Amino acid sequence: MAGSLGTIGPLILMFVLFYFLLIRPQQKRQKSVRQMQNDLKKGDKIVTIGGLHGIIDSIDDNKAVIKCGDGSRLTYDRNAIREVTEAGGESVSLSK
């Protein structure tokens, strides 16, 4: 009995460590990214996963139209937005 506990104990301990050090933080990150992408609205200044900086011109369930520095508009998947740098309202301009 003590021999089997000695071999199973380290495996259980390793699984618990992996859960708290790797799995749980990753799940929290994914949840916060999903929440951020669900809360996107027109006028938010964003950065895409490709590094494009712009302002959301319009948004629907799956796509976002992003206004870039020269006034052009590009359509991206909603999932391609990495972060919101500044929450905005309806009257946000592109000038710096």
Beta strands in 1-96 (DSSP E): 45-48, 53-59, 63-67, 73-77, 81-86
Q: Give the per-residue pLDDT at 73.
A: 95
My answer on whether 23 and 57 are in the same domain is: no
pLDDT digits (tens, 9 = 90+) for 13-59: 999 999 999 999 999 999 999 999 999 999 999 999 999 999 999 99
My answer on whether 28 and 51 are in the same domain is: no
My answer on whether 47 and 82 are in the same domain is: yes
Which of 12, 83, 20 minimizes the C-alpha distance to 54? Answer: 83
Q: Report pTM.
A: 0.68
| Domain around 68 | 41-86
Residue 81 lies in a domain: yes
Total domains, the chain: 2
Average pLDDT value for residue range 62-89: 90
